[in-house]
Amino acid sequence: MAAPPDGHRVMVMASGVTYQSVVDKSIKVDFLNDFEPVGIIMTGDYAYFAPAGAPYRTMEELIAWLKANPGKGNYANASGDLVSVTLFRAMTGTNFEVVRYNGATRALEAIVKGEATFSGGVPVSTVKPMHDAGKVRLLAMAGQDRSPLTPDIPALGESKQEVLKMLSQYGGFAGYWLSIIAPKGTPPAVVARWNTALREVLAEADAKAKVHSLGMVPDVTSAAEMKRRIATDVPRWTKVARDNGIQAE
């Protein structure tokens, strides 16, 4: 972040860059040392969904179907993120094609038309209106606990299948976050003031409602907590890519 560390300039950073950096050579950032984390400010769980008439209604049933039909299923990849779906395929022992689509709209169309077996890695705010209209079927929210935005949809963390419980702990597969970062060298006292201000703003009813409309919930962490999250996620995704032969492009 090439800006003076004076506290007047900060930037929003999404969690996606921490796992996309594993496969995208153009991202040349040391996420632990090139900036000062202020804190994660909001989080969201990804939704996993299927055609409304699919013969599987849950992620457990989907996995059983994929195992019974090896090589016949396909995943509508909305985000271009190959790493997390590769992790799902490896951990569940399933075999299916990954079809890349240009954004969530095209992936949703593929699901509505029954052209794809399932999709995911999409914010629930994008999928829920289609689910409510009976055009797609939400299979699960990918986090460890049910989302307050979709309390009737099970979370992977609730599953009796150990592999799904494990996947619910993988940031990038299970969910996403937005954070605030400051230039390297920003004084700790300034970072702390930013963090306090963000907590106060996001505690207000109007701000909460706006965040909920994005399919996320306010969840302001400390700078140290954000740094620990990055220190966990980047090596974890690097290992997934290495173990599955995914090369940076």
What pLDDT shows up at residue 103? 80
Instruction: Work out the average pLDDT over 143-156.
Output: 92
| Residue 147: CATH number of its domain | 3.40.190.10
Instruction: Work out the average pLDDT over 28-55.
Output: 92
5 within some domain: no
Of the residues 121, 150, 167, which one is the last residue of a structural domain?
167
What pLDDT shows up at residue 160? 94
Contact between 180 and 13 under an 8 Å Cβ cutoff? The reply is: yes
Tokens at 25, concatenated? 């050579």
Half-sphere exposure of 9 (CA within 13 A, CB side): 10
59 and 153 share one domain: yes
61 and 162 share one domain: yes
| Residue 200: CATH number of its domain | 3.40.190.150
121 within some domain: yes
**Which residues are 14's β-sheet partners?**
178
248 within some domain: no
Higher pLDDT, 240 or 62: 62
Contact between 94 and 117 under an 8 Å Cβ cutoff? The reply is: no
What pLDDT shows up at residue 89? 94
Does the pLDDT of residue 83 top 80, yes or no?
yes
What pLDDT shows up at residue 198? 97
What pLDDT shows up at residue 1? 54
Higher pLDDT, 221 or 174: 221
Comparing 48-52, 65-69, 128-132, 213-217, the range with the smallest average pLDDT is 213-217
34 and 49 share one domain: no
78 and 151 share one domain: yes
Which domain range does residue 52 map to? 45-167
1 within some domain: no
Contact between 198 and 226 under an 8 Å Cβ cutoff? The reply is: no
pTM for this model (two decimals): 0.85
What pLDDT shows up at residue 243? 86
215 and 157 share one domain: no
36 and 52 share one domain: no
Higher pLDDT, 103 or 44: 44
235 within some domain: yes
24 and 124 share one domain: no
52 and 163 share one domain: yes
159 and 190 share one domain: no
Helices (H) and strands (E) in the chain, counts: 9, 8
232 within some domain: yes
What pLDDT shows up at residue 105? 87
32 and 53 share one domain: no
What pLDDT shows up at residue 123? 85
Comparing 35-39, 147-151, 184-188, the range with the smallest average pLDDT is 147-151
Does the pLDDT of residue 217 top 80, yes or no?
yes
What pLDDT shows up at residue 206? 96
Of the residues 126, 146, 167, which one is the last residue of a structural domain?
167
Kindly report the number of other CB atoms within 10 A of residue 127's CB atom: 29
What pLDDT shows up at residue 60? 97
What pLDDT shows up at residue 80? 66
User: Which residue in 13, 18, 16 sits closest to 78, CA to CA?
Assistant: 16
CA max distance for the chain: 59
Of the residues 167, 194, 209, which one is the last residue of a structural domain?
167
158 and 73 share one domain: yes
145 within some domain: yes
What pLDDT shows up at residue 65? 98
80 and 155 share one domain: yes
6 within some domain: no
What pLDDT shows up at residue 199? 97
Q: How far apart (Å, rounded) are the C-alpha atoms in residues 29 and 225?
A: 19
The total number of structural domains that make up the chain = 2
What pLDDT shows up at residue 69? 97
Tokens at 245, concatenated? 């032969």
